Amino acid sequence: MFADLRPGEKPLDWNTRMKIASGAAQGLEYLHCGASPPIIYRDLKSSNILLGEGFNPKLSDFGFAKFGPSGDKSHVSTRVMGTHGYCAPEYLTSGKLTTKSDIFSFGVVLLELITGRKAFDDTLAVEERILVDWARPKFKDGKNVTNLVDPLLRGHFSKSGLQKAVEVVVMCIEENANSRPSVNDIVTALEYFNSHPYNSDEAKRDSAKEPGNSDSPKETTKTTNMDHERERAVAEAKMWGESWRGKKGSVG
């Protein structure tokens, strides 16, 4: 899915990136919930997400896929296989595979979409090569999560959408597998992006708030309404994240 841009090519815009994330999550939902027994993808990564017409994503290459646990079993024991930077930590250390292993990998893919960085890039400094390790310290600074965004977007992204997307990433890459959300809840959360697409008016509004700019009464009213909508969206993201933190320890 990701490749270095050729001269003259434009980067994927914010709405397209979130559309890809939502579609990939729906594909994973089918494997985990629609198949019987459930299927663990085991090698979810950006290069295995093919983009069709209209940037509609499709999961490909099921060579590493495994049937999930059945009966009273909680995991599948298997030889560790996957791609560096995407594999869940518990799978790497023990070979114990669950659907939550795929959730970790999905979190990495979503983080790639947000940052424009690769899951693993050996051309970078050692401390920046693994995307998850580079990003984790930045999650703690909630006021500056915009620093995570791909600079090629040049500020054209939804700030309220970013807050929620980062919240989803943080939950997906939890060290404790049981603390990660199920794919059903990820799909539900990502429906937010399709119902609240980025609008360039948001960027114009933020620019208008800079010192030296003044708004007419009409524009001020419009801005106030948009601010209320933005605040509501951010509140929804926080409530969604908090509700899932409260479910830590549950097995899915």
Residue 243, judged by CB atoms within 10 A of its CB (0-12, 13-18, 19+), counts as exposed
16/228 Cα distance (integer angstroms): 25
Catalytic, out of 13, 43, 185, 206: 43
100/177 Cα distance (integer angstroms): 6
The structure tokens listed for 31 are: 């494997």
Q: Are 191 and 44 in contact (CB under 8 A)?
A: no
The partner residues of 113 in beta bridges, in order of sequence, read none
The partner residues of 67 in beta bridges, in order of sequence, read 39
The structure tokens listed for 68 are: 């999930």
Q: Catalytic residue at 206?
A: no
Q: What is the DSSP string of 124-171?
A: S-GGGSBHHHHHHHHHT-GGGGGGGS-GGGTT-S-HHHHHHHHHHHHH
Residue 56, judged by CB atoms within 10 A of its CB (0-12, 13-18, 19+), counts as exposed
Q: What are phi and psi of 59, to 5 degrees?
A: -75, 140
User: Which residues belong to the active site?
Assistant: 43
